[in-house]
Amino acid sequence: MDALLDDIRLLVECESPSADLDAVARSADVVAGVGAARMGVEPERIVLDGRTHLRWRLGSGPSRVLLLGHHDTVWPLGTLERRPYAVEGGVLRGPGCFDMLAGVAMAFAAAAGLDGVTVLVTGDEELGSPSSRGLVEDEARLAEAVLVLEASADGGALKTERKGVSLYDVRATGRAAHAGLEPERGVNASVELAHQVLAVARLGDASAGTTVTPTAGRSGSTSNTVPAGGSFSVDVRVRTVAEQERVDRALRALAPVLPGAEVEVFGGPNRPPLEATASAALFALAQAVADRLGLPAPSAASVGGASDGNLTAGVGTPTLDGLGAVGGGAHAEDEHVLVDALPGRTALLRGLLEELLAVRTNDLVASGAVRP
């Protein structure tokens, strides 16, 4: 426990806001040092678009299991002065501790001494993995299973489903005119956008768990001019690929309502869903491991937020997410980790790794735990 807490403290006390390339590089140095000390292997440093990612290959044999995490956080430089690392009353606090630096430290502790594991810690997940997406997907294709060290869901639940994400920008073009003298000569982009907002909002399907939400809007230039152009953003969350495709087709089929107006749709699917089928066998295995170790049986949760687990599931590799710290307050002022849960959580991860590495691949395929 003391060693694990020391590692978490080192990671938390090196601030790593995603948008600051220098800060992410400094964080990578610290993460590399902690990981090398625990696992006895120096990482490969992979710099893509100026962002530093770290990869450890453990053992001499082929890699079978991918442990996945990230070391970038959402907190700006200077947050540590206001919210320093602290452990009081069994609660650990500090920027990024829950999402997901404690999980990174747990991965190092659990993987030490194993053969056939790859540990990948990226530096841009909080931005949507713009540079590391291909790296994550390529590593997932090489693996039989992916274990994601993102923080747990409420009560320590494992994340067996994550919604897929699509992001769009709907743009309307009209024609400007003086709003007082001759508004009838214009084509009002704001009115066109109002029609489109209502059409887009109707695409959601609560019964399928699909949300389609118009968000930030922009239109016009001055208060006395018929707007000649404008746009609004759309956030889409889906549980299945089929729903993601349905919404995409509908958005691309949007047509203008006002004579003379034009409508264009930009963007598309950003991350595929992590569907329950991708995690079912691994979750069952985690429950069996917990029972063998005398740990409480983990529960399952479906969440709306996305992670790199969406990407690994999207390329067809069985993926189990939320194996990191138990606590709460991700991206919030009350971010925290429950210290008492760390030993059992790390033991569960280690046991799951040992089980996956010990079982013959053919048996895993037959059980549905991995793909052929």
Positions marked catalytic? 72, 125
For 71, the token pair is: 């070391």
The Cα–Cα gap between 267 and 25 comes to 30
Is the separation of the CB atoms in 303 and 153 below 8 Å?
yes
* CA nearest to 229, candidates 256, 263, 252, 257: 263
* CA nearest to 272, candidates 371, 164, 346: 164
